[in-house]
Amino acid sequence: MMRFLCGLAALPLFFGVTAQANAQPSYIFTTLDVPGSTLTFAQGINASGQIVGYVDGDFVGPQHGFLLRDGSYTTFDVPGSTGSDAGTLAFGINVSGQIVGWYFDGVIHGFLLSDGSYTTLDVPGSTLTEANGINDSGQIGGIYSDAGGIQHGFLLSDSSYTTLDVPGSGGTTAYGINVSGQIVGSYTDAGGIHHGFLLSDSRYTTLDVPGSFDTQARGINDSGQIIGSYLDAGGFHGFLLSDGNYTSLNVPSSFDTQANGINAAGQIVGSDGGGKGFLATPSP
């Protein structure tokens, strides 16, 4: 079953900002580096602190999903996705340990890994499907491409797919979803510029970090805190949007910070510019 949701068009909304847009929040940073890997990309974190992502490849050659649980890394591959031109990428994990992501076997498919069993996720009529986020109720958000090559976000809930399109956009991607069903992601405008969005109660709100050229919202926790990345004259930075305030997030000594996931405790995972993942834990 496929449904379509466009919601009500929303003007860009600029939430209040901190005194300095580039203020560094107080976090303890931990490097995430899967043993034996060349590159580590951390994408999602659940309330228990379990982290998922993918390693190696950098989109050239095979990638492998990873799970970090109780201090131990495990890599995994969707059956049929192994090989020099294939790969498995994990993007989201919920409190039950269900993992979503996507894999390539000549075509890109989404997947759900639950209780050791893989389920392929393909939006009906799509040519590409990527699952990016899953909440504690098992609802899944992601992206698909239609026959014309247009990208749309989707929500998978109770075995039903709903298409998500920001009104007037050239393409929509859904990334994170919380237990209330609020969804964040990004869309492109007529000029090809990315803007973040929040979908809440069927209304879209545009999210742009002040002074940025490009903003993408990647994760939202159950408290409504939103994280993502933005580009300005100084490069890529992570951001946290909490209580109406934007705060920049920069890994120390890194030239590039991308924030990808946030849990209920406010812990954030992402990637730096040096091919390593990171965990940012709020300081007491």
Q: From the CB of residue 61, how many other CB atoms can be counted at a distance below 10 Å?
A: 13
What values do phi and psi take at 186, rounded to 5? -145, 160
SS3 readout for 69-121: ECCEEEEECCCCCCCCCCEEEEEEECCCCCEEEEEECCCEEEEEEECCEEEEE
Characterize the bridge pairing of strands 117-121 and 171-177.
Answer: unpaired
- Domain range for 229: 2-282
How many Å apart are CA 200 and CA 24, to the nearest integer?
A: 28
Q: What is the structure's pLDDT at 225?
A: 98
Number of H helices, E strands in the chain: 0, 25
> How large is the average pLDDT for residues 163-184?
97
Q: What is the structure's pLDDT at 6?
A: 41
Read off the tokens for 245. Answer: 């305030």
- The amino acid that residue 116 corresponds to is G
> How large is the average pLDDT for residues 176-187?
98
% of the chain with per-residue pLDDT over 90: 82
CATH of the domain at 92: 2.120.10.30
Which neighbouring-strand residues pair with 110?
102, 121
Q: What is the structure's pLDDT at 103?
A: 96
Q: What is the structure's pLDDT at 61?
A: 59
> How large is the average pLDDT for residues 89-93?
98
Q: Which residue has 């040519």 as its token pair?
A: 127
pLDDT in tens, 59-81: 455 899 999 999 999 999 999 88
How many Å apart are CA 152 and CA 165, to the nearest integer?
A: 6
How many Å apart are CA 93 and CA 91, to the nearest integer?
A: 7
Q: What is the structure's pLDDT at 81?
A: 86
pLDDT in tens, 108-163: 999 999 999 999 999 999 999 999 999 999 999 999 999 999 999 999 999 999 99
How many Å apart are CA 268 and CA 273, to the nearest integer?
A: 16
DSSP string for residues in 116-183? TEEEEE--TT-SEEEEEEE-TT--EEEEEE-TTS-EEEEEEETTEEEEE--TT-SEEEEEEE-TT--E
pTM of the model: 0.90
Domain count, the chain: 1
3-state secondary structure of 95: coil
Band of the pLDDT at 84, cuts 50, 70, 90? low
Q: What is the structure's pLDDT at 255?
A: 86
Band of the pLDDT at 15, cuts 50, 70, 90? very low
